[in-house]
Amino acid sequence: MNETRIKEVAKMKGYSLQELSTMIGITYTSFFRRIQNPKLSSLQEIAKALECQIAELLPAGNGFSHFYDDQTGEWLGIRRKN
């Protein structure tokens, strides 16, 4: 897993990865290393800081994508692409 999805969600929530690392209480270097191959505990910390579900931080996979409410920006889950 790479940091792309975490970076996308952070940006949608209005945070940079630097700001997110500060919210979690670790250096940016440590944070960047953690998100290269994150453990469940790291994903839980990140999800808590971003007020989102862990699944939102994970890639959707081939043929699927993350869906958001157009009006509120609320995450609606992962669905098969049309």
Quote the pLDDT of residue 3: 76
Residue 82: count of CB within 10 angstroms of its CB: 4
For the chain, list the domains and their CATH numbers: 4-80 (1.10.260.40)
- pLDDT-based confidence at residue 82 (cuts at 50, 70, 90): confident
Q: Minimal CA–CA distance to 10: which of 22, 23, 25, 20? A: 20
Residue 6: count of CB within 10 angstroms of its CB: 24
Average pLDDT for 14-34: 96
Q: Residues 42-58: pLDDT tens digits?
A: 999 999 999 999 999 99
Are 56 and 46 within 8 A, CB to CB?
A: no
Burial zone of 21 (CB within 10 Å; 0-12 exposed, 13-18 middle, 19+ buried)? buried
Are 45 and 35 within 8 A, CB to CB?
A: no
The model's pTM? 0.87
Q: Is 16 helix (H, G, I), strand (E, B) or coil?
A: coil
- Check pLDDT > 70 for residue 1: no
